[in-house]
A and B are shown apart, each in its own frame.
Chain A
Amino acid sequence: MISAKKLSYQYPAGKTMVYPDFESVGGNALLILGKSGCGKTTLLHLLGGLLRPKEGHVIIHGKDITTLTEKALDQFRGKHIGFVFQKSYFVQSISVKDNILLAPYLAKKPADTIRLFHLAKSLGIDHLLPKLPATLSQGEQQRVSIARAIIHHPDLVLADEPTSSLDDENTATVARLLLQLCSENGAALVVVTHDERLKSIIPNQITLTP
């Protein structure tokens, strides 16, 4: 479902980063480990088409996204990729429910409210739906992010340090839910993190060296 080939990225400052090749298929999870500053987030942004690589290819769902125009890339990203970020970003002015439904709306897919309630139930956030995002705790916000990343049936879910701001208990819950939902929905999951706690949960691992 996703493969990275000969990826490299040049920072505006001039430093060039070369990444190893890897592949992952739908329903599987891949953990990319590395210390801070080794280009983990950059790799994730390259995979998600938020940054353009210097060289190499990212192939998602049979499509090389490095060849797409800016606008086509935005659309492709919306349709095929779901993001979970380290910090939970929301459109602050609309409710949790609307934030989750924003994903299918922006990807121009139908809003499936039944799926929304099903997801919310399994993530344990169904009682939070009418609230504003700012009123939620970190763990709750991260679970809402998962719902938003998965609701529009993406082929790939990219998670950037999804657990680093959570305590042990929440980390376990969030990681378990993320894995469970991705495999249920047949989405490839790529998690980049320095969080050693995830090592035991995701067996498939790559370690980046600076």
Chain B
Amino acid sequence: MLKIIYRNLVYKPLNALLSLILLMLSVAIISLLLVAGKQVSEKLDNDLEGIDMVVGAKGSPLQLVLSAVYHVDAPTGNISKAEADKLTKNPLIESAIPLSYGDSYKGYRILGTTPQYLELYKAVLEQGKMYAGTMEVVAGSKVALRLGLKPGDTFLSTHGEDAKGQVHEQTAYKITGVLKPAGAVVDQLLLTSTESIWDIHGESHELKTVPPHVEGEAIDHDNHNDHDTVPEAEKQITALLIKFRSPMGIMMLPRMINENSTMQAAIPTLEINRLVNLMGIGISTLQGIALAIMLIAGLSVFVSLYNRLKERKFEHALMRSMGTSRGVIFLLLMAEGLFLALVGFVAGIGLCRIGLSLLNKMAAEDFHFQFGYGWVKEEGWLFGITLLIGIFAAIIPAVKAYRLNIAKTLSDG
């Protein structure tokens, strides 16, 4: 009986194939959106933990958050260390982690910060030791894996985020340790002390000639100009990650900073919500399109089953004459619809995972982010919906076949 179902589907392969491709595409798109959406938002939330506010140079607050928390955007500029230190003393602030960035090595960002940053993401050393002096670096797990870095290695950093930027040739960094995977943004960073960044830029006056970054168009000034000479009193950092002592902080500090200082404060959760809402319009549009494709797929299953019903009613009458009950004929057609839905779903999920792996291949270099291939709970719903579509598409042809008048069919022949 299974053979008949299968053979019937491949007997007219174009019909079945059209239905199958439509089903597969819609399942793949929806599943891709579900998986990617879920993982991106998990990832965004994960990196945000323990950061209530980001303080940096004035500019776009979203850019500040993206650059200081997720390290996927160029910095907005620099702030004076003296001003930042003054803010840090505010009683509403529990902790403030200074960040200095702007340099990279083979596309991976070098972040000058304090060991507090590692604690924030609960990152611990896998081998080697923590950086102590200047020009010592601890590598995040992914960077170490991708670039094959191990303690004792040395490298020259590049100015800016671009792998083709100008190289700081005077001083080499030395790897002292490698971190265990923390499942957070820290995995993709090269961490060093804030002093290392000052040192390297204190010597490199020629940097003034470096053209502004392309991705920095939104920045109101070229951030490099600010930190190319570093007398003790003019030390600068790029941003501060701040955790409040009490919820009162969120009421008072951002306003105070934005109005009364040369710095800007951004609340990362707000900015990310704004970003997610913006993306949400696109995502729900895509979901709508995918659902429409799925309905069309259901319609196509229906049409192909219904059309073939006319030529197959002789088959059904014949099978009835050979002892098949009406119920079995009904199930036969239902099974064809369900079989298509099932294969469409499995192929769609497969296509989605292939899509994810392609995304991983293409986007990993740019976004330092890898999608997992795990099953998402919502895909269970998707499975149910796909089966329902199969059932609805098959039920009318199946009922018609159930009611078939065999004597009339056979004598009309």
A91 — which chain B residues lie within 8 A by C-beta?
4, 7-8, 315, 318-319
A105 — which chain B residues lie within 8 A by C-beta?
1
- Per-residue CB contact flags for chain B residues 376-413 toward chain A (1 = under 8 Å, else 0) read 00000000000000000000000000000011001101
Indicate whether B325 reaches chain A with its CB closer than 8 angstroms: yes
Indicate whether B322 reaches chain A with its CB closer than 8 angstroms: yes
Asked if B411 and A45 sit within 8 Å, CB to CB, the answer is: yes
Indicate whether B284 reaches chain A with its CB closer than 8 angstroms: no
By beta carbon, the residue of chain A nearest B315 is A91
Instruction: Select which of B10, B323, B406 is within 8 A of A93 by beta carbon.
Output: B10
Binds B, one of A69-77, A120-128, A168-176, A199-207: A69-77
Indicate whether A19 reaches chain B with its CB closer than 8 angstroms: no
Instruction: Select which of A51, A85, A93, A98 is within 8 A of B413 by beta carbon.
Output: A85
By beta carbon, the residue of chain B nearest A107 is B323
Indicate whether A182 reaches chain B with its CB closer than 8 angstroms: no
Max chain B CB contacts within 10 Å: which of A75, A78, A107, A160? A78
Asked if B321 and A83 sit within 8 Å, CB to CB, the answer is: yes
* A74→B279 CA distance, assembly (Å): 59
* A50→B326 CA distance, assembly (Å): 12
* Closest CB in chain A relative to B225 CB, distance in Å: 75
* A148→B319 CA distance, assembly (Å): 12
Asked if B318 and A94 sit within 8 Å, CB to CB, the answer is: no
Indicate whether A139 reaches chain B with its CB closer than 8 angstroms: no
Asked if B322 and A89 sit within 8 Å, CB to CB, the answer is: no
* Closest CB in chain A relative to B308 CB, distance in Å: 10
Asked if B318 and A74 sit within 8 Å, CB to CB, the answer is: no
Indicate whether B367 reaches chain A with its CB closer than 8 angstroms: no
* A42→B318 CA distance, assembly (Å): 16
Question: In terms of DSSP, what is the predominant structure of the interface of chain B?
Answer: helix
* A108→B328 CA distance, assembly (Å): 13
Asked if B315 and A92 sit within 8 Å, CB to CB, the answer is: yes
In B279-338, the 8 Å CB interface with A consists of 311-312, 314-315, 317-327
In A44-84, the 8 Å CB interface with B consists of 45, 48, 50-51, 70-71, 74-79, 81, 83
* Closest CB in chain B relative to A194 CB, distance in Å: 14
Interface size class of A (residues with CB under 8 A): 20 to 34
Asked if A86 and B325 sit within 8 Å, CB to CB, the answer is: no
* A60→B14 CA distance, assembly (Å): 45
* Closest CB in chain B relative to A93 CB, distance in Å: 3
Asked if B11 and A106 sit within 8 Å, CB to CB, the answer is: no
Asked if B407 and A89 sit within 8 Å, CB to CB, the answer is: no
* A91→B311 CA distance, assembly (Å): 10
* A76→B325 CA distance, assembly (Å): 11
In B107-128, the 8 Å CB interface with A consists of none
Asked if A50 and B406 sit within 8 Å, CB to CB, the answer is: yes
A78 — which chain B residues lie within 8 A by C-beta?
322-324
* A20→B275 CA distance, assembly (Å): 87
Asked if B410 and A74 sit within 8 Å, CB to CB, the answer is: no
Max chain A CB contacts within 10 Å: which of B322, B325, B413? B322
* A16→B325 CA distance, assembly (Å): 28
* Closest CB in chain B relative to A170 CB, distance in Å: 19
* A79→B1 CA distance, assembly (Å): 17
* Closest CB in chain B relative to A190 CB, distance in Å: 14
Max chain B CB contacts within 10 Å: which of A50, A98, A103? A50
* Closest CB in chain B relative to A99 CB, distance in Å: 9
Asked if B407 and A50 sit within 8 Å, CB to CB, the answer is: yes
By beta carbon, the residue of chain B nearest A158 is B321
- Per-residue CB contact flags for chain A residues 87-123 toward chain B (1 = under 8 Å, else 0) read 1011111100010001101111000000000000000
Asked if A45 and B314 sit within 8 Å, CB to CB, the answer is: no
Asked if A45 and B407 sit within 8 Å, CB to CB, the answer is: yes
In A146-164, the 8 Å CB interface with B consists of 148, 160
Indicate whether B3 reaches chain A with its CB closer than 8 angstroms: yes
* A78→B325 CA distance, assembly (Å): 10
Asked if A74 and B411 sit within 8 Å, CB to CB, the answer is: no
B315 — which chain A residues lie within 8 A by C-beta?
89-92
Asked if B11 and A92 sit within 8 Å, CB to CB, the answer is: yes
Asked if A79 and B317 sit within 8 Å, CB to CB, the answer is: no
Indicate whether A41 reaches chain B with its CB closer than 8 angstroms: yes
Asked if B326 and A102 sit within 8 Å, CB to CB, the answer is: no
Asked if A74 and B326 sit within 8 Å, CB to CB, the answer is: yes
B411 — which chain A residues lie within 8 A by C-beta?
41-42, 45, 160
Asked if B323 and A74 sit within 8 Å, CB to CB, the answer is: yes
Asked if A89 and B314 sit within 8 Å, CB to CB, the answer is: yes
- Once A50-B410, A87-B413 are accepted as A-B contacts, the answer to whether A93 and B320 lie under 8 Å apart by CB is no
Asked if B325 and A74 sit within 8 Å, CB to CB, the answer is: yes
Q: A interface vs B, CB < 8 Å? A: 41-42, 45, 48, 50-51, 70-71, 74-79, 81, 83, 85-87, 89-94, 98, 102-103, 105-108, 148, 160
Q: B interface vs A, CB < 8 Å? A: 1, 3-4, 7-8, 10-11, 311-312, 314-315, 317-327, 406-407, 410-411, 413
Besides A50-B321, A74-B323, 14 new A-B residue pairs in contact (Cβ under 8 A), listed by A number? A45-B407, A48-B321, A70-B325, A75-B325, A78-B322, A85-B410, A86-B413, A89-B315, A89-B410, A92-B11, A92-B315, A106-B319, A108-B323, A148-B322
Listed A/B pairs (16) with beta-carbon separation below 8 Å = A42-B407, A50-B406, A50-B407, A50-B410, A71-B327, A75-B325, A77-B323, A83-B322, A89-B317, A89-B318, A93-B7, A93-B10, A94-B7, A102-B322, A106-B324, A148-B322
Instruction: Rank and list the top 10 A-B pairs by shortest CB-CB distance, nearest first.
Output: A78-B323, A93-B11, A93-B7, A89-B318, A50-B407, A45-B407, A87-B413, A74-B325, A106-B322, A89-B314
